[in-house]
Structure formats: structure tokens, C-alpha cells
Chain A
Amino acid sequence: MATLVEVKNVTKVYHRDTLEIPVLQNISLEVPEGEFLALMGPSGSGKTTLLNLISGIDQPTSGAIVIAGTDISRLNESALAKWRSRNIGFVFQFYNLLPVLTAFENVELPLLLTNLTKKERKERVEMVLKVVGLDDRMEHYPKQLSGGQQQRVAIARAVVTDPTVLIGDEPTGDLDRKSAEEILTLLERLNKEFKKTIIMVTHDPHAAQSARIIRHLDKGELTAN
């Protein structure tokens, strides 16, 4: 399979006042298209930072990140925002749905940035909500849904634009075992059935078993499997 995500010698250093905090050190990583990668590591190991860099919501201090042939570390803020809207689907640990919007409207949000007509948007939203098994909860607000259901809405929101890469930052971290299983099953299905490339951060070994590749991060460095 062709390489879809290339992380080349990436270093990330945060600055807090006069302090320099190195988070990632000379990281290189390749993710083939259609893969399901789990990044594991203890708290503070830099896995979320790496995920943020791959998803284009943060920029590396040095190095390059090439996704589907685009070096996103060279894009400016507005170009990066446009690139994200087309290429990245992001699933957060705490769902991060907008509480004032229904499930349907939350999923529709990323489509507002496309040229799709209202009818086309509706068809797409209904389709992905059906895929995640929430076609009967479209008009429900987040507070009317369980944690697992909210995360499924968040996954629907992440895939509704048919992104190049689906990113998950501890997507099961806030869920009970049963709900977590449902989410992992859904992610596996998206990977196998819909050929979605997925990169997921988790500290749960059981969750990581759903992935086909597992990489470990420790103190800002990738370690052997």
C-alpha cells in the first residue's frame, strides 16, 4: 500500500515564558493508506501532540509532515484550515459536539464549508448517521444522548466529508466498556468496509488491539513495537 502519512524528522518544542519544553524529538513515521494505526504511550509522552501535528491543528518546530503528497508544515493558517476541512476527520475524547445543535446539525457542520446543496448535505448527513446507527436520533441534542451515542455522532461528523485520514484522540477514553466496544467496532468497520485510514491515540491496550499497527511513544520518541 502507498504511504499516505509521512512524518519526517519532526521535533516539537513548546515555549512557556522562558522555558523550552521539548515534546517530540526527531520523530519519523509512515502510515500506509487504508491502515489503522494506534499510538500508545503514557501521559505526557507526546502522542496527542503528534496527533495534532498530523491533523494540521499544530505546526512542528522542525521537520515535515506530508499527507497525501502535501507538506502541511508549509501551509499558512487559512490554507491549513481549508486543507483540514477536506482531509481530516477528528474524533475527540470528549466528543466536543456543539450543545445547541441537534445530532443532524452537528454532523452537517463540516459540510457548510463545502459547495454541496442543502439537499445533498441532508442526504450525506442521513447516510452517515445511518452508518453509525443513529438515524433515529437525528433531532436529538447532545444532552439527550448517551456518551457512546455522542461519540458516534462525533464520528459521523468526522467522516461526513469523506476525509483522507480519520484521527481519534482517545475516542474511547470517556466511555464505559460497552460503549467503548461499540465505538471500536465502528472504527474497525470504517477502516475495513470503507477503507478509511485511521490514526488513533489511546492508552488502553484493549482499544489498541482494534488497530492493525501499534506504535509506542515514550518521552517524545517512538520506540520499537
Chain B
Amino acid sequence: MNVLKLIYKNFLRHKLRSLLTMLGIAIAVLAFGLLRTVVTSWSYGVEASSANRLITRHAVSFIFPLPYSYRSQIEAVPGVTKVSFANWFQGTFKDQSFENFFPRVAVDPETIFDVYTEYTVPQEQLANFKKQRNSCIVGKKLVEKYGFKIGDIINVTGDIYPGEWEFVVAGVYAGKDKSADETQLFFQWEYLNERSRQVASWATDHVGWYIIQIGNMNEAPAVSEAVDAIFANSAAKTKTETEKAFQQSFVSLSGAIITSLELVSYVIIGIILMVLANTIIMSARERIREYAVLKTLGFTSFHIVGLIAGESLFISMIGGVVGLLLTFPVCQGFGAQFSTLFPVFKVAVSTMVMALSFAVLVGVVAAIFPAYRSARMTIVDGLRQIG
């Protein structure tokens, strides 16, 4: 026998109470992990951004388009190696539920996959995409979700650009690594531009934003400044920033939601701390007399603290590990259900570390008060306790 065995036997003394507390911790860690994964996945685009890409948008707001004519002037800026462009299309596929939401973007077929090197498309499919005006390239995850095949027609009802739109699947792109967003539909900007003459004339010959590839990431500030300087006196002034900053501005739009989620995740940890503390306090109170007996035998206050903290940590750590193990399949299921909303839904290493750290912290903090009280208790007072 050793002290660890005594801790284990004490844990089993009230099996139901210990198991329920452990289960509570596991659920709390699971909830924490899920919420944290939502938070980290929300800003996945920021993490996945390339340092060699800049985004030029309208200086007032992203919703205002920029003239297509800017393209050649941007291409002439020293340091720029390639320029592409895109328009947010939106529209409705099937219905307006979150489940059927995925980004639909009008792009330049000639350059889009040159600047987004993290996506790969078979050469033949890319060639077909470039040839056919109303064709599109869809992400691998969309294929997995909707079963799209080459040649299929995807019907989308336009809103920003009214009307019924048909896109013929010409190819499927895939990410080179797991952080790539494989939930987008790219179609030809020319197709959009052509039809916008009838349905949205304000958007004709305009693009939503430019994607600028630069040769040296250290030149990003200089190139940004140079691009914006060109259009400083034009009607549509520009704002050029790194792709990361551009993505960050989207995330910050939902900053309140993210902050709330983060807050809730910490509140959950706080609640479970109270639950565990209550369990440990009850256990320690019931064993006051036993601790006094142990002290009589020669065990020190340090040993008593070790027994109480050990049991608390045992419960919190097992609960934490179980909760973390459950987090993976739950996040996988959640990610699959909302794959188009969260293109990448992975439990981050930081989330795992935080979850386990909180489990340890909760175990330690919950034991402080009962351990302190038991350590301070005199043997005589402890032996007087009944029960």
C-alpha cells in the first residue's frame, strides 16, 4: 500500500458522488473545448493567411466595389508579382439555412489559382473552367457534402445580383494542407459581369477586392502604401492591407460574439470549480476524524494536504482527460454538421493545453480551502468530531 492507493480508495468511497463530479468535469471540459474550438475556428482564416498576399478594397467599406480598371495600375507597382480579383456573390442555395451556406465567389479564372497556391485543381479541370463562361470550381468538402459531380448544374438564387444563376461544375479543388478552406464555389467573374449589366448595373466592370501577390513579404508596407497612393485622389479610394489584417477585420466584426463565447467557456470552468470544491469540502469534512487519526500516527499536515489535493487532482485530471477525449469526436461531428460555416473545425493544441491546464487548476484550487482547514485542525479537535 502507498499514499496513492489511499487516495484511490478514498475516491472510491462514495462512488456515485465521485463519478458524478468527474462526469461534471468531463462535460465542462468538453463544453470548454467545443466553445474554444468555435472561437479558434472562427478566426482560422487569419491563421491560414499568406504573408505574401495583400488585399486591396474600397477605403470606405468592403461592400463598395472597386473599378476593374485599377487592375493594370496595381500590376505596375514595383514588388507586385501577380494581381487577381474577386466579388462576393452570396445568393441562396436550396434554402437560407446555415447548413446550406457556403461562400460563392466570382473570380478571375486565369489568375485565382496562381495567387492561391494552397489550392490545387487538376490541369484539365482548370482548363475547362477557363473555357466555359458559366462553369465553376467547387471545394472538395462541398463535393463530399452535396455529391456534386463534374457536369452537374448548381442552381443559386441571387440576391445582391438578382435572378436565377446556373453554374456548371467544371472541377474540384483541394487544399494542400488541412488548414485550407475547401468549402467555396468559384465561378467566372466575366459571367457575373456580363449578367450584372442587366441585373446590377452598379456592379458592372467592378470587382469586390483585389488580391495582390508580392515577391517579398517585407515589402508589404511599401507596396500597400504605393497602391493606395495611386488612388488617393480618385472617387473610389483604396485600402490595402495584408491578407491577415483583412481577415482579422472580418473576425473583429463578430468580436462581441467571440468574446461572449470565450467568457462562457471560462464561466463553465468557474462553475465546475465550485462543484468540485463542494465535493472535496464534503469529503474532507466527513474525514476530519480520520485525518486526526493519521496525524496521531505521525502523519504531518503536509501529508493531509497531499491526500486532499491528491484526491481533488485525481478527480479533476481523470474528468479532464475524459472530457478532452470526448471533445474530439464531438468537434468532429459538430464540424461535419456545420462544415460550410466552419471550413476548418479542429481542436487546436492550445485548446487541449488550456483544457488540461484548467483541469489541473480546478483540482488544485478546489482543494485549497479543505486542505488548509484540515491541516490547521488540531488532533484533539479532530478526534472530537463525530462520524
**Chain A residues proximal to chain B, CB less than 8 Å:** 52, 55, 57-58, 77-78, 81-82, 84-86, 88, 90, 92, 96, 98-101, 104-105, 108-110, 112-113, 157
Interface membership of B190, Cβ < 8 A: no
A-B contact pairs, 28 of them (CB 8 A): A52-B380, A58-B378, A58-B380, A77-B300, A77-B301, A78-B300, A81-B295, A81-B299, A84-B297, A84-B298, A85-B297, A85-B298, A88-B296, A96-B290, A96-B293, A98-B6, A98-B293, A99-B13, A101-B6, A101-B9, A105-B5, A109-B1, A109-B294, A109-B297, A112-B2, A113-B297, A113-B298, A157-B297
Query: Size class of B's contact patch?
Result: 20 to 34
The 10 closest A-B pairs by CB, nearest first: A85-B298, A100-B9, A57-B379, A96-B293, A81-B300, A84-B298, A105-B1, A110-B297, A58-B380, A90-B296
Does chain A have a CB within 8 A of B10? yes
User: Measured between alpha carbons, how far is A98 from B10 in the docked complex, in Å?
Assistant: 10
Q: A57-B380, A98-B290 are in contact. Are A86 and B298 (CB under 8 A)?
A: yes
Q: How far is the CA of A6 from the CA of B301 in the complex (A)?
A: 27
* Contact A84/B13 with A57-B379, A77-B301 known, Cβ cut-off 8 Å: no
CB distance from A141 to the nearest CB of B (A): 10
Residues of B within 8 A of A98 (CB): 6, 290, 293
* A110 CA to B293 CA, complexed, in Å: 11
Interface string of B335-354 (1 = CB under 8 A from A): 00000000000000000000
CA distance in complex: A108, B297 (Å): 11
Q: Is B200 an interface residue (CB 8 A)?
A: no
B residues in contact with A96, CB < 8 Å? 289-290, 293, 383
Q: Is the CB of A100 within 8 A of B300?
A: no
A122 → chain B closest CB, angstroms: 10
**How many cross-chain pairs have Cβ atoms below 8 Å apart between A and B?**
67
CA distance A108 to B380 in the complex (A): 23
Chain B residues with CB under 8 Å of A90's CB are: 296-297
When A100-B13, A101-B1 are in contact, do A57 and B295 touch as well, CB less than 8 Å?
yes
Cα-based distance from A77 to B299 in the complex (angstroms): 11
The distance from the CB of A139 to the nearest CB of chain B, in whole angstroms, is 12
Which secondary structure dominates where chain A touches chain B?
A: helix
Bound complex: CA A88 to CA B3 (Å): 21
Q: Which of B12, B378, B379 has the most CB of A within 10 A?
A: B379
Which residues of chain A are near B295, meaning CB under 8 Å? 57, 81
Q: State A90–B206 Cα separation when bound (angstroms).
A: 92
> Which among B3, B6, B302 has the greatest number of chain A C-beta atoms within 10 A?
B6
B379 near A108: Cβ-Cβ < 8 Å: no
Give bound CA distance, A157 to B301, whole Å.
Answer: 20
CA distance A57 to B3 in the complex (A): 22
B289 cross-chain contacts in A, Cβ below 8 A:
96
The CA-CA distance from A88 to B298 in the complex, in Å, is 9
Q: How far is the CB of A207 from chain B (nearest CB, A)?
A: 20
Q: In the docked arrangement, what's the CA distance between A157 and B299, Å?
A: 14
B378: nearest chain-A partner, CB-CB: A58
- Residues from chain A with a CB closer than 8 A to the CB of B300 are 77-78, 81-82
Contact call B3/A55, Cβ cutoff below 8 A: no
A58 contact set on B, CB distance < 8 A: 378-380
> Which one, A77, A78, A86, A112, contacts B1 given CB within 8 A?
A112
Complex alpha-carbon distance, A158 and B366, angstroms:
34
Instruction: Please give, as numbers and ranges, the residues of chain B lying within 8 Å of A57 by CB-CB distance.
Output: 295-296, 379-380, 383
Most buried by A among B1, B289, B290: B1
Residues on B with C-beta less than 8 A from A104 are 1
Per-residue contact bits, chain B 197-230, to A (CB 8 Å; 1 contact, 0 not): 0000000000000000000000000000000000
Contacts of A109 in B (CB 8 A): 1, 294, 297
